Homo-oligomer: A and B are copies of this chain.
Amino acid sequence: MVSDNPFRRARYPLLVVLSGPSGVGKDTAILRMKERNLGFHFVVTATTRPPRPNEVNAVDYFFISNDEFAEMIERGDLLEHALVYSDYKGIPKQQVREALASGKDVIMRIDVQGAATIKDLCPDALLIFLTTNSEEELVERLQQRKTETPEGLKLRIATARQEMKRLDEFDYCVVNHALRLDETVDKILAIIEAEHQRVRPRRVSL
């Protein structure tokens, strides 16, 4: 027999896109994943929005000015960018490339439209749609956040309705039940683990 098993194959890093309507708990899920310290690279998004309490620059986001953001766009430094509820958000290209090159799975959190853009750029990206158990629960979570004006809340709810219709563009859908965050994270981790066992692995190139 030959000395090596033909199935001992290369492990390709994944580009995991965690998306879903505003308020479903993307940030909280990412935070819990970080706490578990599993060797992923979590993309630090650039944004023009001001930090929320407890948010740290270069950790949660790169908080930058409108001018700085415009410069990044001009230099082609962003993989994707969008105006999300009157604030700009963008994914630094070089950061993602370097993390993938190091062999790490890359996790990014991004709005639904942005996820579609990433999929266009990189058909082998792994798209996970996070959702709440009901629309009522989503509204409740947005209200609890207390960062929204009544008009802002109304806009987010209307947008969420539209975004929920785009589920078909995603690979997986994970329900983030209230008070069951660890279960949500376990499901996301199971998806990542399973994808690494695929006979036909995703091969990301950016």
Query: What is the predominant secondary structure among interface residues of chain A facing chain B?
Result: mixed
Q: Is the CB of A136 within 8 A of B6?
A: no
Q: Is the CB of A131 within 8 A of B199?
A: no
Total copies of the chain: 2
- Give the CA-CA distance A198 to B171 in the complex, in Å: 6
- Give the CA-CA distance A128 to B189 in the complex, in Å: 19
Q: Is A8 an interface residue (CB 8 A)?
A: yes
What is the number of residues of chain A that contact chain B, defined by CB distance less than 8 Å? Answer: 43
- Give the CA-CA distance A3 to B137 in the complex, in Å: 10
Chain B residues closer than 8 Å to A129, beta-carbon distance? 7, 199
Chain B residues closer than 8 Å to A32, beta-carbon distance? none
Q: Is the CB of A175 within 8 A of B135?
A: no
Q: Is the CB of A8 within 8 A of B194?
A: no
Q: Is A191 an interface residue (CB 8 A)?
A: yes
With both beta carbons as reference points, the residue of chain B lying nearest to A139 in the complex is identified as: B1
A157-186 toward B: CB 8 Å interface, digit per residue (1/0)? 100010011011011111100000000001
Contact of A198 among B131, B132, B164, B172 (CB under 8 A): B172
- Give the CA-CA distance A131 to B128 in the complex, in Å: 29
With A193-B187, A194-B194 as given contacts, are A5 and B133 in contact (CB-CB < 8 Å)?
yes
- Give the CA-CA distance A170 to B200 in the complex, in Å: 9
Query: What's the minimum C-beta distance from A4 to chain B, rounded to whole angstroms?
Result: 6
A118-139 toward B: CB 8 Å interface, digit per residue (1/0)? 0000000000110111111111
Give 7 new A-B contacts, CB below 8 A, not counting A6-B167, A190-B191: A1-B135, A1-B139, A7-B131, A8-B134, A128-B197, A129-B199, A191-B193
A-side interface residues toward B, CB under 8 Å? 1-9, 128-129, 131-139, 157, 161, 164-165, 167-168, 170-175, 186-187, 189-191, 193-195, 197-199
